């Protein structure tokens, strides 16, 4: 077991950022090593199952409110503790300068304000590094450097997004990206939906379609599909199976104790659904949460075998259908909570190496209080995530859950996050679809339509972007 220690000058900032339960190290080869954290006074002790060097990642508060994940540079184990604030400042500045160099070398136009922010961050970090003998002064300068780096990273992404979108619009006035939303029934506020979206994901889970063994209820799905096709909306079906929770029909509970039986019944269900809608739904999100798991006591190997068998059944039913898998917590937060060793991208790569044919990847961005949440990260992290997954050279869909409002003061922060996430996705060539997860009736404060039937401010933002960039 490896141990890395930090000396913490500002434990109050750690407490302000929230729990240290999701702390990890990003290894050079993309592996993620979760850490068990123990705080003893001003000492943070991180115990890992590996001894290799890696980038330390945890949540840290912003001056403007809220918190986001920050990185150190790669740290090796040593007997003496690191200065936490100094190492985080070093990592944030290094990350900023590296990305600025890459984008600037590719033609990005900077601004005097961005250049000044980078210089100020560097100046503050230099002061922190040179005053290490006075820990309080060093930590204060390091914290300031982190905030300046965060502001510079936000501005850098704004420049990147505006210039990339302008470049894409020079080739086509309207960006060729689907804007969709998940529905379980025909929306009552039809005009609001059609003003915002040109695609729909029709819910098709096992429990709702086959509540009794062998007795399928297709009425809801048929009505929703007919409504969508009459309005010429692109249709994606699913997810059919959710491996993050036990969402099986009641009659399947006894059969699910056997891996072989579960796999066989699931394959039969998928074949039945695809057979019924063959030629009408050309794109299916078959499985969600395979990388995280949590249902049926499956190990990583079990889930890989299960997914392979189910997708083989899909190809047997309709070899022309487009298949996508949803990746839950694509930054790998789940590795701090559930047993496993494969990062999200390693899990997907393993499936591909096993011969599983997957047409698209759906990246799930869920900023909520649920167990499947993603920690809040800056736009630069989202850009790097999309670029990383783009290496597979297949289309990407970004599945967004609007952050719920905990109080009225969060409206501006939520809209700022949603706007930056949407624009970053629209700037990326590999992103072919942006999908919202909740139209109405889900998490309180996270739906696009309020309980009173009035559009949320997030929906108005989506409509504005749709008018300006997509339609």
Q: What is the pLDDT of residue 19?
A: 60
Q: What is the pLDDT of residue 144?
A: 98
Tally of domains in the chain: 2
Query: Which of 105, 137, 169 finishes a domain?
Result: 169
The token pair that represents 103 in the structure block: 């984008």
Q: Are residues 324 and 240 part of one domain?
A: yes
Q: What is the pLDDT of residue 256?
A: 67
Q: Are residues 403 and 332 part of one domain?
A: yes
Q: How many CB atoms sit inside 10 A of residue 28's CB?
A: 10
Q: Are residues 30 and 71 part of one domain?
A: yes
Q: What is the pLDDT of residue 20?
A: 66
The CATH number of residue 187's host domain is 3.20.20.80
Q: Are residues 288 and 333 part of one domain?
A: yes
Query: Which of 143, 169, 195 finishes a domain?
Result: 169
Q: What is the pLDDT of residue 118?
A: 98
Q: Could you tell me if 318 and 274 are in contact, meaning their C-beta atoms sit under 8 angstroms apart?
A: yes
Q: Are residues 122 and 47 part of one domain?
A: yes
- Mode of pairing for the β-strands spanning 36-40 and 32-34: unpaired
Q: How many CB atoms sit inside 10 A of residue 146's CB?
A: 28
Q: What is the pLDDT of residue 458?
A: 86
Instruction: DSSP letter for 255, please.
Output: G
Dihedral sign, Cα of residue 372, residue 378, residue 382, residue 387 = negative
- Mode of pairing for the β-strands spanning 283-288 and 234-237: parallel
Q: Which of 455, 427, 437 is nearest to 161 (CA)?
A: 427
Q: Are residues 424 and 352 part of one domain?
A: yes
pTM, to two decimals: 0.93
Q: Are residues 296 and 231 part of one domain?
A: yes
Query: Which of 145, 169, 193 finishes a domain?
Result: 169
DSSP codes joined into one string, 388-432: HHHTT-S-EEEEEEPPPPSSGGGHHHHHHHHHHHHHHHHT-TTEE
Full domain range(s) for residue 227: 174-470
Contacts of the segment 168-176: beta carbons below 8 A, 24+ positions apart: 168/426, 168/427, 168/429, 169/469, 174/469, 174/470, 174/471, 175/426, 175/469, 175/470, 176/432
Torsion of CA 342, 348, 351, 355, to 10 degrees: -150
Question: For each successive 10 residues of the chain (471 residues), what is the average pLDDT?
Answer: 90 78 86 90 91 93 89 95 96 98 96 98 97 91 97 98 95 92 91 94 90 89 96 95 83 76 90 93 94 86 93 88 95 88 94 92 85 89 97 96 65 86 96 90 65 81 90 69
């Amino acid at each position: 077991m490896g141990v890395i220690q930090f000396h913490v000058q500002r434990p109050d900032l750690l407490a302000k950022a929230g729990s240290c339960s999701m702390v990890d190290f990003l290894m050079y080869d993309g592996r993620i090593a979760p850490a068990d954290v123990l705080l003893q006074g001003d000492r943070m002790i991180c115990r890992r199952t590996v001894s290799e060097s890696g980038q330390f990642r945890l949540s840290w508060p912003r001056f403007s409110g809220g918190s986001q994940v920050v990185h150190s540079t790669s740290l090796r184990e040593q007997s003496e503790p690191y200065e936490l604030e100094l190492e985080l400042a070093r990592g944030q500045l290094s990350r900023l300068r590296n990305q600025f160099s890459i984008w600037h070398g590719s033609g990005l136009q900077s601004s005097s304000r961005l250049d000044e922010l980078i210089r100020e961050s560097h100046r503050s970090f230099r002061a922190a590094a040179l005053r290490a003998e006075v820990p309080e002064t060093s930590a204060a300068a390091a914290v300031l450097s982190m905030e300046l780096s965060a502001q510079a990273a936000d501005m850098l992404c704004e420049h990147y997004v505006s210039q990339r979108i302008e470049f894409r619009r020079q080739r086509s006035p309207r960006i060729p990206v689907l804007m969709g939303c998940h529905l379980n029934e025909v929306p009552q506020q039809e005009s609001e939906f059609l003003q915002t979206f040109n695609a729909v994901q029709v819910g098709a889970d096992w429990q709702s379609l086959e509540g009794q063994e062998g007795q399928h209820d297709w009425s809801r799905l048929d009505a929703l599909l007919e409504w969508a096709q009459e309005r010429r909306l692109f249709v994606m079906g699913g997810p059919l199976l959710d491996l993050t929770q036990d969402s099986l029909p009641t009659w399947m509970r006894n059969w699910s104790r056997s891996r072989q039986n579960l796999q066989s019944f699931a394959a039969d269900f998928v074949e039945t659904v695809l057979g019924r809608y063959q030629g009408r739904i050309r794109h299916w999100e078959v499985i969600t949460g395979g990388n995280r798991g949590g249902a049926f006591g499956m190990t990583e190997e079990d889930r890989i075998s299960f997914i392979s068998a189910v997708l083989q059944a899909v190809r047997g039913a309709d070899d022309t259908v487009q298949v996508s898998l949803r990746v839950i917590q694509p930054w790998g937060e789940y590795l701090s909570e559930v047993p496993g060793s494969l990062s999200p991208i390693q899990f997907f790569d393993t499936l591909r190496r096993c011969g599983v044919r997957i047409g698209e990847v759906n990246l799930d961005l869920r900023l909520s209080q649920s167990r499947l949440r993603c920690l809040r990260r800056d736009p630069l992290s989202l850009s790097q995530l999309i670029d990383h997954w783009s290496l597979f050279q297949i289309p990407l869909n970004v599945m967004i859950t609007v952050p719920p409002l905990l109080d009225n003061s969060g409206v501006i922060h939520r809209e700022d996050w949603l706007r930056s996430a949407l624009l970053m996705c629209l700037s990326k060539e590999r992103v072919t679809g942006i999908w919202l997860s909740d139209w109405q009736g889900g998490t309180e404060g996270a739906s696009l339509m309020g309980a009173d039937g009035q559009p949320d401010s997030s929906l108005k933002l989506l409509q504005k972007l749709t008018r300006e960039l997509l339609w």
